[in-house]
Amino acid sequence: MKLNTAIVDDDKIFHFLMTIMLKETQISSTPVCLQEGEQFLQWWHTQKSVSQNSLIFLDLNMPLVDGWQVLDKLKAENAKNLFVVIITSSIDPKDRKRAESYPMVIDFMVKPIQLHDLIRIKQSTSLTPYFH
Amino acid sequence: MVRAFEYIQFFKSMRCPSVILKVTEHGFDIVNANDGYLALGALDLKDIQGKNFFSLYPINPYISDDDWFTCFESVLTQKTEVNLGVHKLVYPLNTETTFLDVRYYEIHHIPILDDREEVIYIIRTLSNVTQRVILEELYNDSQKSVQYGNWWVNTQHQTIELSSGVKDILEVPDSFKPDLQSTKRFYCSEEEVKSFYKAVNRAVIEKKMFKKLLRIVTAKGNKRWLLLIGQPDFVEGICIGVRGVAKDVSEKLAYMDKVENQHNSLKYIAFAQSHLVRAPLARILALVVHLKQRFNEGSIEPQLFDALNHSAQELDAVIHEIINKTVGEKRLIVDDKE
């Protein structure tokens, strides 16, 4: 099964490092890099129309449409075929707790992200079928 | 003779210090004085009887000459009992007095008229009202110290009474005579007046206590927050007025505002530390890991050093912003010390 991967973060250096690590872990060789929530939602609607499965690495604190607003819209649309991994610099436990209330969120990771974090994600129950 | 004796005994037995003066061409001669009066000046009757009042008195240190030598004028002209008000005296009159010897007396001059309606005698009485005055002073002081007072609106007569505590809050003199119209100038706006009377009317209709926070302007132009708690007064089901207490809560509200500002600052610090500080820090940590890996492989991308430098500067800028917002603008730390 094919899984399209997107990195949604306003930090270009993060895009750069994350792209390298996604390639190294063989999660994705061509991840899509998006700067903020609205860009992602537009991209997601095109993915949805062709019934593509997606893995999203979503930052919370972004300008314009932030990560929480993205999750609210996805929840309102009852989004399917979508796996969201929260990637944030926040160490506030309230953020982790809040993220758990969204059904499409499969993990919550605090930056800096390391290779073993991504390997753990790749081996998670939700994603195993896509990497065999 | 028997009747004269009895009258003297009645006069002598009066506990209120009193003296009888005969009005003469030369002034006011002392005819008699009861024991209470003699005790005030530590004198015997024989020392004062037949003598001119002003030749003996005053012996009270608190009396001014201007008031003293004209004190009988009002009773002579009005020919009716005159209340001279409360005067401060010293009792017992010792060579060394302390504040404990200060007494307050309400002085009355009662005229005795002859057949031609002329004043021939004056009875001067001094009622000891020390306890009442002290209690009033304590009551007023306590109102002043905790910045509260009492108010009473008589809806029947459309009058209003304010205690000294409320007058202090409104910064008006004790002599200020309020009425429903004149007190309207203390409200900040017409909306405040309407809002207050709406609360009062509802309390009257529902026969309940009401609580109202009002923004007022004092006579000296200072803006204050007043908490009014009142309840309607009913006599046989008819509302005769509304009475209650007023408390100046300006300082309390200012304190709550300060606490809220501090709370917002702390919320900002928590957010900043969790998101803003950690964002460049997490990036630096990630870059260091990546650089280390590339160093081992012998293939470092030079632009990563720029990224590292940029992140470190961003971190520094964020820390400066936190300091400015919490210490510089809101003075969080300085306020705490104050």
B164 and B143 Cβ atoms separated by less than 8 Å: yes
Confirm whether A12 is domain-assigned.
Answer: yes
Q: Which residue of A has its CA nearest to B303?
A: A13
What ipTM was predicted for this assembly?
A: 0.78
| Mean pLDDT of the B266-283 span | 82
Confirm whether A105 is domain-assigned.
Answer: yes
A91 interfacial to chain B (CB closer than 8 Å): yes
Q: For an interface test with B, which of A25, A90, A95, A98 has the most B Cβ atoms less than 10 Å from its Cβ?
A: A90
CATH classification at residue A74? 3.40.50.2300
Closest Cα partner for B125 from B84, B158, B97, B77? Answer: B84
Confirm whether A62 is domain-assigned.
Answer: yes
Interface contact flag, A89 B279, Cβ < 8 Å: yes
| Mean pLDDT of the A59-78 span | 92
B173 pLDDT above the threshold of 50: yes
Name chain B contacts of A60, Cβ cutoff 8 Å.
275
Q: Calculate what percentage of chain B has a pLDDT beyond 90.
A: 20
Structure confidence at residue A70 (pLDDT): 95
Full domain range(s) for residue A42: 3-121
Confirm whether A126 is domain-assigned.
Answer: no
Confirm whether A132 is domain-assigned.
Answer: no
Q: Cα–Cα distance between B333 and B326 in angstroms, integer?
A: 8
Domain count, chain A: 1
B206 pLDDT above the threshold of 70: yes
Structure confidence at residue B98 (pLDDT): 66
Confirm whether A89 is domain-assigned.
Answer: yes
Q: Calculate what percentage of chain A has a pLDDT beyond 70.
A: 99
| Strand order across the beta sheet in which B82-90 lies | B28-33, B18-23, B119-128, B102-113, B82-90
pLDDT tens digits along A88-114: 988 888 899 999 999 999 999 999 998
pLDDT tens digits along B73-108: 999 999 999 999 998 887 776 666 666 678 899 999
How distant is the alpha carbon of residue B30 from its chain centre? 43
B315 and B277 Cβ atoms separated by less than 8 Å: yes
B42 interfacial to chain A (CB closer than 8 Å): no
Confirm whether A131 is domain-assigned.
Answer: no
How distant is the alpha carbon of residue A25 from its chain centre? 15
Contacts 24+ apart (CB under 8 A), B107-111: B107/B83, B108/B81, B108/B82, B108/B83, B108/B84, B109/B71, B109/B72, B109/B74, B109/B75, B109/B81, B109/B82, B109/B84, B110/B75, B110/B81, B111/B75, B111/B76, B111/B79, B111/B80, B111/B81
B19 and B33 Cβ atoms separated by less than 8 Å: yes
List the end-to-end C-alpha distance of chain A, in Å, as a whole number.
Answer: 9
Q: Where are the alpha helices (DSSP H) in chain A?
A: 12-24, 37-49, 67-76, 93-99, 115-122
Nearest to A113 among B270, B271, B286 (CB): B286
Confirm whether A79 is domain-assigned.
Answer: yes
B275 interfacial to chain A (CB closer than 8 Å): yes
Which run of H or E residues covers position B234?
A: strand B223-235
A7 pLDDT above the threshold of 80: yes
Which run of H or E residues covers position A65?
A: none
ω before A93 within 30° of 0 (cis)? no
Q: For an interface test with A, which of B276, B281, B289 has the most A Cβ atoms less than 10 Å from its Cβ?
A: B289
A43 and A15 Cβ atoms separated by less than 8 Å: no
Place of tokens 């459309």: B158
User: Exposed/middle/buried for A11, CB within 10 Å: 0-12, 13-18, 19+?
Assistant: buried
